[in-house]
Each structure stands twice: as C-alpha cells, then as structure tokens.
Amino acid sequence: MKCDICDKPAVVHEVTIANGVKKEVHLCLDHARDAGVAMPGQQPINKLLSKFSVAGKPTVVAPRCEQCGTSFAQIRQNSLIGCPACYDTFEEPLGRFIERAQAGATHHVGRGLPQEEGKSRQQREERQLMRALEAALSREQYERAAEIRDQINQLSDRPSEESQEPSSEGDEA
C-alpha cells in the first residue's frame, strides 16, 4: 500500500470509525513524522511502559518474611518454606496452600499413637473428620463443613470393623 500523500510505501495505517463513517489513512515514514504520529520502535521505553501502567494506582508490594525475606510467591513456586518465621508470617495463605496440596488434610495422618492402637480404624477416621469439621467451621467454610458432615454420617452408618469379623466355617456345621 502506498502513502496517501506521495508514492512511497506506507508504514502507518490508521483506521478510525466516527459516527458510522470509516476513515483510512496510510502514510509513509516521512509524512507520519510530519503528522506527529509516534512511530513504533522509535519511542523512548518509558513512554511505551507508561501506556501499560495504570495512572494513580500504587503498586502493591507482596509481603515478605522479616527474617529471611522470602515472599509467599517464592514459597508457592519452590514448595519450600524459607525459615520458621515464615509459618507465622504466611499463616493464612500457607494453611490454604497446604490444604489444597494435601487434598483437604491439614494435619499429618500417619501411624497412630501407642495408646490409640487398640481403637478401630473407623473411630480414628471419625475423630479425624470431626477435627476437619471443626477447622472448616472455624474458617467459615460451610460448604466444606457440610461435605465433612456427610462423610461422618456415612461413616457412622457403616457397621464397625469389630462386628464385621468373618465367622469361622466350623460354626455352621
């Protein structure tokens, strides 16, 4: 396409629509400069960046741990906590992060304590669900609390493990 003023190749193509009327302007480099059109690649970088920044809006600085300087974004990216103080600094977002990573579990579920070895698995599950229910209610996560309540109800409707012991075949004869 050629410049509207001369026969040089057009480098600026401007289309404006005002009141339903379409107007096209095609200018070469020289005539675009004369018209005051800013040429891409020839503007100072700070002018280009100012177009993308929102005027008057302060930038938000992410909080960092006072002891080690780690941000929560770094913790999420690396899955590593910077120092013990990070647990206090990022207590709330870290709790949500761990809960999502552990499929809703917020406590370690491992081997039971020696005094709990005699209790059935169903009792341990029920106790764990009760703790999760209390945590969900304290965080006002009512939908999650309703799901946990339903799990507790299903668990209590199941017969306990102790009553499900297989009978010996010799009893039937």
Residue 24, domain member (yes or no)? yes
Give me the domain span that covers residue 124. 120-158
In terms of domains, do 99 and 124 share one? no
Q: How confident is the model at residue 40 (pLDDT cuts 50, 70, 90)?
A: low
Q: How confident is the model at residue 173 (pLDDT cuts 50, 70, 90)?
A: very low
Q: Note the pLDDT tens digit of each residue in 77-136.
A: 888 888 888 888 888 888 888 777 777 666 666 655 555 555 567 788 888 899 999 999
Residue 51, domain member (yes or no)? no
For residue 106, give the nearest of 89, 131, 76, 143 by alpha carbon.
Answer: 131
Q: Note the pLDDT tens digit of each residue in 43-72.
A: 566 666 666 665 555 566 778 888 888 888
Read off the amino acid at residue 109. Answer: V
Residue where the block lists tokens 């039937």? 172
DSSP 3-state of 9: strand
In terms of domains, do 1 and 33 share one? yes
In terms of domains, do 1 and 29 share one? yes
pTM assigned to the model: 0.31
Residue 48, domain member (yes or no)? no
- Residues with Cβ < 8 Å from 132, sequence gap 6 or more? 104, 105, 106, 148
